[in-house]
Structure 1
Amino acid sequence: MPFTITTQPFGPLATDYRPLTEYILEHPETGEFLSVIPGFGGLLRRLVLRKGNDLLALIKAPESPQALLADESYASAFMYPFPSRIRHGIYRFNGEDYALPMNEVKRDNAIHGLVHGESFDVISQETTDTYARLVIRYDYPGTVSGYPFPFALTITYELIQADQLPLGSVTNDRMCALRISYAAENTGRSQCPAAFGWHPYFTLSEEPVDDMTLSLPTRTGIVLNDAMIPTGKYPTEKAATLSLHEQELDAAFCIEPADMNTSTVPYTETILTSQRMGIRLIVGQEMGKGKLNYLVCYTPPRRDSIAIEPLTANVDSFNNQEGLAVLNPGDTLSGTIWVRLD
């Protein structure tokens, strides 16, 4: 049975905000699906994948338009042209000083880029017997004085059969997986600084985070001050699994690729495990030059989810240049992220 893409209103809307449409990519045979709201940051609102006979909800995101507008957690947000924080919102690039809007007042930072909540256009959609694909795009004209560099950010969502993933383990089951590809093009006439990230909150059908473990790749921890700005690095740690019981995380890492025996493309995977359910949620990220070589993990106070955030650059990268890409006119920053169950 082929995959499908359908739409439905995301509402009813009780605000003056523009009407929103939710796109649902589904595999009717298995019941697995994901839903996307292009009109509000192109964010992923729902992700339901199958393990055995069970369908599991894997994403915590706002349940209504009103909750979406009120959300300050950046749930499922794409972060571009910078992820995480820029100290005071101030940076210097090619001999010029710039000041971004400060949207994290309590810490005196600019945070998470310029595309959250913006309206993406649907460029194309396609369904076959093995995948459903939705391509969306946001064109930024350079109107914020602190970032006067036009760009086009294209996001490709795919619900695919998990054995199509070129990276990571191959399953013999006909389970599905999510694959997200991004491409940020410098559409201006001068160089621009660029970094990308994704900010999903993961859960395993509402199981408390305290009952789970998190397996991290080999990594170098970033020392963060009270304003969550880097001041140094910790010694490198080997890949390890830690209990999330009463563990509070708000940590950034520079990470290393996984064993290369199964792929010629550098990658790594971070694993959230429920021992009780016997399920592993796996978040993969492409690595290499200009790719997703950083990771942030965060446990919110409500303890019902964990943010596992692949990034191309360090916190405050516009100032420390760690992982920062400098794009010439026409250049593109691109990469791939995937989510699967095992």
Structure 2
Amino acid sequence: MYTLTEIETQGLHYLEMASSDGESKGQICLNQGGRLSKFVFKKIQILADFDTSTYKDNYASSVLFPFANRIKDGEYTFNDSKYELDCNESDKNNALHGLVYNKTFVCVHKTLTSNYASLTLQYKDAGKSKGFPFKFNIELIYTLSQSGLNLSAKVVNECDKTFPFTLGWHPYFNSKDLNNSSINFVSSKKYRFDNQQIISGTTSLDVEMPFQLKDVKLDDGYPLATNELEFSTPEYSFKLTSTSIENFLQLYTPNQPNVIAIEPMTGAADNFNNKIGLQMLDPNDTYNVEWNIKIETLNSKTKTNKLINKLCNS
């Protein structure tokens, strides 16, 4: 039976899901936007280990809503009205990573079985945020299972006006050796960025896939041609799939070694202005997206290969 443990430390409230053998654990911080703060799968550390005090700088595993990535100068126009968001990226004068990353979520439902654990978290916004005066509810459903992790996000428009939105997720993944790791996705181009890290155009993506991550430094965005990508490391690999019709990807390598942010998004950076992937949510309507991470460890791959070889030779 999967278990659930409540943890209070350094003024933060966590919920930790764990498999019955304790080899897989997912820890969620309710006070920091309901983010997945730790994730271990079959004893392998999947998420990078950042101190919680650095979250304000790295936004590790934050859910990005109502916009993902950046809004240039924190300004946009919607339905002939001009809005101005707080610019929390002071060095580039941008609004960064949405409005729920630092909100407190509450757990409204939990399911614990012998095969999986699932938590439903909720945050209700009264529509009084600067630059986004729209009332909404957002629910995050985390499911830890024997195959990996699933994150489902549901947004409900609770006001009497349509609003623009994008959803994203900002996890940093750990690799035992990033120089011997790779990522595989389908795209024909990547975005060019200006000195504010705002999209200024596109260029052809001249990279052989799988994209080898040896000695690379990344802060790049891509429109994806499919709804999936693969990440491979010496210890594990995973396939990340999205239910979004349009899919976008941001890759970022921080100064910490052997770590990469792989950020799925439903729209591109600054799309409140450039409209790339931007969606609208009408009053009382609901939007859902799921990101599923199916993981294979090196041990499970080895066992599978041995079984295939045995069947082929029998």
TM-score (norm 2): 0.89
Letter in 2 for 1:56: I
- In the other structure, the counterpart of 2:241 is 284
Per-residue deviation, residues 16-51 of structure 1 (Å, max 9, x unmatched): xxx32211111113621111111221010111112x
Query: CA–CA distance in 2 between the matches of 1:42 and 1:249?
Result: 26
Q: 1:154-303 counterparts in 2 under 5 A?
A: 154-162=139-147, 177-204=148-175, 207-235=176-204, 240-257=209-226, 267-274=227-234, 277=235, 279-288=236-245, 293-303=247-257
Query: CA–CA distance in 2 between the matches of 1:158 and 1:239?
Result: 34
Per-residue deviation, residues 210-232 of structure 1 (Å, max 9, x unmatched): 33222233343111112111111
Query: Which of 314, 319, 323 is the equivalent residue of 2:277?
Result: 323
Letter in 1 for 2:228: T
Tell me the secondary structure at the aligned position of residue 107 of structure 1.
Answer: coil
Tell me the secondary structure at the aligned position of residue 26 of structure 2.
Answer: strand
- In the other structure, the counterpart of 1:131 is 116
- In the other structure, the counterpart of 1:172 is none
Per-residue deviation, residues 289-315 of structure 1 (Å, max 9, x unmatched): xx5x10101111222310000001011
8 Å CA contact 2:177, 2:233 repeated in 1: no
Letter in 2 for 1:337: W
Query: CA–CA distance in 2 between the matches of 1:303 and 1:63?
Result: 15
1:34 aligns with 2:26: yes
Query: Which of 44, 50, 62 is the equivalent residue of 1:56?
Result: 44
Gaps of 5+ in 2: 297-314
Per-residue deviation, residues 155-174 of structure 1 (Å, max 9, x unmatched): 00001232xxxxxxxxxxxx
Tell me the secondary structure at the aligned position of residue 147 of structure 1.
Answer: coil
Q: CA deviation at 1:242?
A: 2.0
1:23 aligns with 2:15: yes
1:118 aligns with 2:112: no
Query: CA–CA distance in 2 between the matches of 1:234 and 1:253?
Result: 10
Q: CA deviation at 1:286?
A: 2.4
Letter in 2 for 1:189: D
Query: CA–CA distance in 2 between the matches of 1:145 and 1:36?
Result: 27
Query: CA–CA distance in 2 between the matches of 1:41 and 1:337?
Result: 17
Letter in 2 for 1:270: E
- In the other structure, the counterpart of 2:266 is 312
8 Å CA contact 1:159, 1:178 repeated in 2: yes
- In the other structure, the counterpart of 2:304 is none
Per-residue deviation, residues 172-212 of structure 1 (Å, max 9, x unmatched): xxxxx1000001111111010111100000003xx242332
Query: CA–CA distance in 1 between the matches of 2:25 and 2:213?
Result: 28
Tell me the secondary structure at the aligned position of residue 221 of structure 1.
Answer: strand
Per-residue deviation, residues 265-298 of structure 1 (Å, max 9, x unmatched): xx31231332xx4x3233332231xx5x101011
Tell me the secondary structure at the aligned position of residue 91 of structure 2.
Answer: helix
Change (3 A) 1:25 1:272: same
Q: CA deviation at 1:103?
A: 0.8
Change (3 A) 1:252 1:31: same
Query: Which of 90, 103, 109 is the equivalent residue of 2:88?
Result: 103
Query: CA–CA distance in 1 between the matches of 2:30 and 2:22?
Result: 25
Tell me the secondary structure at the aligned position of residue 210 of structure 1.
Answer: helix
Gaps of 5+ in 1: 14-18, 163-176, 258-266
Q: CA deviation at 1:256?
A: 1.1
- In the other structure, the counterpart of 1:173 is none
Change (3 A) 1:245 1:22: same
Instruction: Count matched residues.
Output: 296
Query: Which of 53, 59, 64 is the equivalent residue of 1:74?
Result: 59
Tell me the secondary structure at the aligned position of residue 210 of structure 2.
Answer: strand
- In the other structure, the counterpart of 1:90 is 75
The share of aligned pairs that are identical, in percent, is: 27
Q: CA deviation at 1:246?
A: 1.3
